[in-house]
């Protein structure tokens, strides 16, 4: 295993351009269930067609809104874990560091990561269902049935998350693609690597010459192309990555070097 760590840290000088893609597995250790686990995932318990589509919201906005309010309340009791904090520490030490996440919980920002591209939106934000612009909750107009309306046009507010059948935010996706094409090292962490278009980012980075690292408890569709693989939970692997990184690079930059 030490040989794998040496290989990874050798590609991580402070001058490297690094992109990290994270998925639901990173937040699972904070107590947020993943979506796709066949036994415990949210979609094993709830029908996404009833709760996470624009059609569902149009059909029964109260049901959808209340479900997301429940998820928001559950999120308020959750804190970043050691994996989130390790990535924030890595970002502090490598200036050209970009974090791309499929998660909507906001835990990366809470942990201190300075630059986060949120591909699937953010659970804590709302947007106008007609104008597609983010609206601060304090500015929203309450409705009679407990929903919120846009102060500009009167349309209902909805969570600012990407639902099934919707396109990812164009600017966020374009930025993530550009970073994947330019990076020296690309990490795929805690993601199943099956949800497109995010699943194409590690492949794209590899195509453009990046050193590809996968951190995941299980094999995924990109495992075979990864230059280095560490099997394990991100909350355990990422702090060890930082320890190994400090041993290699802080020692090299010490007095007399």
Per-domain boundaries in the chain = 1-32+80-120+167-257
What rounded mean pLDDT belongs to the chain? 90
Q: What pLDDT shows up at residue 152?
A: 95
Eight-class DSSP state of 82: H
Tell me, what's the pLDDT at 210?
98
The answer to whether 84 is a known catalytic residue is no
What pLDDT sits at residue 223? Answer: 93
For the stretch 192-227, pLDDT in tens is 888 889 999 999 999 999 999 999 999 999 999 999
Pairing of strands 148-149, 141-142: antiparallel
- Asked which of 50-54, 206-210, 242-246 is least confident by mean pLDDT, the reply is 50-54
Name the percent of the chain lying above pLDDT 70.
91
For the cut 50, the answer to whether the pLDDT of residue 41 exceeds it is: no
Write down the pLDDT at residue 257: 42
Quote the pLDDT of residue 74. Answer: 83
| CA distance linking residue 221 with residue 107, whole number of Å | 26
Residue pLDDT, tens place only, 168-184: 999 999 999 999 999 99
Q: End-to-end alpha-carbon separation of the chain, Å?
A: 27
Task: Say if CB 194 and CB 218 are below 8 A apart.
Answer: no
Within 13 A of 80's CA, how many CA atoms are on the CB side?
17
In the set 11, 84, 108, 120, the catalytic residue is: 120
Residue 43, pLDDT > 50, answer no
Three-class secondary structure of residue 229 per DSSP: strand
Mean pLDDT of 55-68: 91
Q: Among residues 110, 98, 91, which one has the least CA distance to residue 32?
A: 110
What CATH fold (topology level) applies to the domain 1-32+80-120+167-257? Answer: Rossmann fold (3.40.50)
Name which residue leads in pLDDT, 124 or 252. 124
pLDDT at 39: 38
The model's pTM? 0.90
């Amino acid at each position: 295993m030490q040989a794998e760590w040496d290989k990874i840290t050798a590609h991580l000088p402070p001058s490297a351009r690094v992109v990290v893609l994270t998925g639901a597995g990173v937040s699972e250790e904070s107590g947020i269930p993943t979506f796709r686990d066949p036994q415990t995932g949210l979609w094993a318990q709830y029908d996404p067609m009833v709760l996470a589509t624009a059609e569902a919201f149009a059909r029964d906005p109260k049901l959808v809104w209340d479900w997301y309010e429940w998820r928001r309340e559950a999120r308020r009791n959750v804190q970043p874990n050691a994996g989130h904090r390790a990535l924030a520490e890595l970002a502090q030490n490598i200036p050209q560091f970009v974090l791309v996440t499929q998660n909507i919980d906001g835990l990366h920002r809470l942990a201190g990561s300075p630059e986060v591209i949120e591909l699937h939106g953010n659970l804590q934000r709302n947007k106008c269902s007609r104008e597609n612009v983010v609206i601060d909750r304090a500015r929203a107009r309450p409705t009679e049935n407990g929903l919120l309306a846009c102060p500009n046009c009167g349309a209902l507010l909805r969570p600012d998350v990407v639902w099934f059948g919707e396109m990812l935010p164009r600017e966020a996706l374009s930025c993530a693609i550009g970073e994947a094409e330019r990076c020296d090292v690309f990490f795929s962490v805690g993601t199943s690597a099956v949800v497109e278009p995010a699943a194409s980012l590690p492949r794209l980075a590899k195509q453009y010459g990046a050193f590809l690292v996968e951190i995941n408890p299980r094999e995924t569709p990109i495992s075979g192309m990864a230059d280095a693989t560490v099997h394990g939970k991100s909350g355990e692997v990422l702090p060890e990555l930082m320890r190994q990184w400090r041993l290699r690079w802080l020692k090299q930059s010490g007095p007399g070097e």
